[in-house]
Amino acid sequence: MIIDGLEVAVTKKRIKRMNMRIKEPDGRVVISAPYGTSDFMIKSFVRSKRNWLDKNIKRIVERAEAHPAPKTKAEKEAARRELKARIAERLPQIEDITGLYSNGWTVRDMHTRWGSCNTKTHHLNFSLMLASRSDEELDYVIVHELVHTVVPNHGADFYAMMDRFMPNWKSIRRGLHRT
Ligand SMILES: [Zn+2]
């Protein structure tokens, strides 16, 4: 369906409300809508979100160009190997600096977050997307997840620790989320 010059792919599903996603790396707009949703409703939905869409399509396309994701299986494996070596080198150093220790870690092919921490087991996960990011950005994600070993949420204590260990973390995070 083309709405004001913007192509959107619509799938009807057994869901309650419409939702919309922008796909990487090409910025394709995909909408899931409940059965029975009219074209008029879909058009209104897209129009009401048009500014947000334009901004985020641009951001996603720019990000994909600046940090191309590995495409083939071989490329993915190489990226994973390289990232694992970087983490194996940097994580222990950062653990010693911060005094916060993980209990094992895994690189996972996750696309919606840079890292995660199991706050019970202190096992960390790192996104394969980090393979194309700078050491500084990788360090930021490592510090962030290590802080979660002692502060599970993103409350004031969490940010106080981030400020202490990495005073410029805000600008690094901004870069990670922008491109
Ligand atoms: Zn977090």
User: 177: exposed, middle or buried (C-beta count within 10 Å: 0-12, 13-18, 19+)?
Assistant: exposed
What is the longest distance spanned by two Cα atoms in the chain? 58
Average pLDDT over residues 96-121: 94
Task: Check if the beta carbon of residue 137 is closer than 8 Å to that of residue 130.
Answer: yes
Q: Indicate whether 25 pLDDT > 90.
A: no
CATH fold for domain 73-178: Zincin-like (3.30.2010)
Compute, in angstroms, the gap from residue 145 CA to the centroid of ligand 1.
6
Please provide the average confidence, as pLDDT, over all residues in the chain: 94
Average pLDDT of the segment spanning 111-137: 94
**Residue 147 Cα, ligand 1 centroid: separation in angstroms?**
8
**Burial annotation 34-69 (CB, 10 A radius, 16+ → b, else e):** eeebeeeebeebbeeeeeebeeebeebbebeeebeb
CA of 13 to the centre of ligand 1 (A): 32
Greater pLDDT, 169 or 63: 169
C-beta separation of 78 from 123 below 8 A: no
> For residue 90, how far is its CA from the centre of ligand 1 (angstroms)?
19
- Residue tagged 């050491």 (tokens): 135
C-alpha of residue 16 to centroid of ligand 1, in Å = 29
Grade residue 122 by pLDDT with cuts at 50, 70 and 90.
very high
C-alpha 127 – ligand 1 centre gap (Å): 13
pLDDT recorded at residue 68:
83
With a CB cutoff of 8 Å and minimum separation 6, the contacts of 155 are: none
For ligand 1, the distance from its centroid to the CA atom of residue 43, given in whole angstroms, is 35
179, pLDDT greater than 70: no
CA of 148 to the centre of ligand 1 (A): 7
Where residue 42 falls among pLDDT bands split at 50, 70, 90?
very high
Q: From the CA of 61, how far away is ligand 1's center (Å)?
A: 25
Is the pLDDT at 119 greater than 70? The verdict is yes
Please compute the mean of the pLDDT values over residues 44-71 and round it to a whole number: 91
Asked whether residue 49 carries a pLDDT value surpassing 90, the answer given is yes
- For the chain, strand residue ranges (E) read 2-3, 6-13, 19-23, 28-34, 105-108, 115-117, 124-127
pLDDT confidence of residue 69: 82
Whole-number pLDDT of residue 112: 84
Cα-to-centroid distance, 152 and ligand 1 (Å) = 8
Nearest CA to 149 among 100, 110, 112, 79? 100
Q: Where does residue 99 fall: left (phi above 0), alpha (psi -120 to 50 degrees), or beta otherwise?
A: left
CA of 68 to the centre of ligand 1 (A): 24
Domain positions in the chain: 2-66, 73-178
What pLDDT band is residue 178 in, cutting at 50, 70 and 90? confident
State residue 155 phi and psi, 5-degree precision. -90, -170
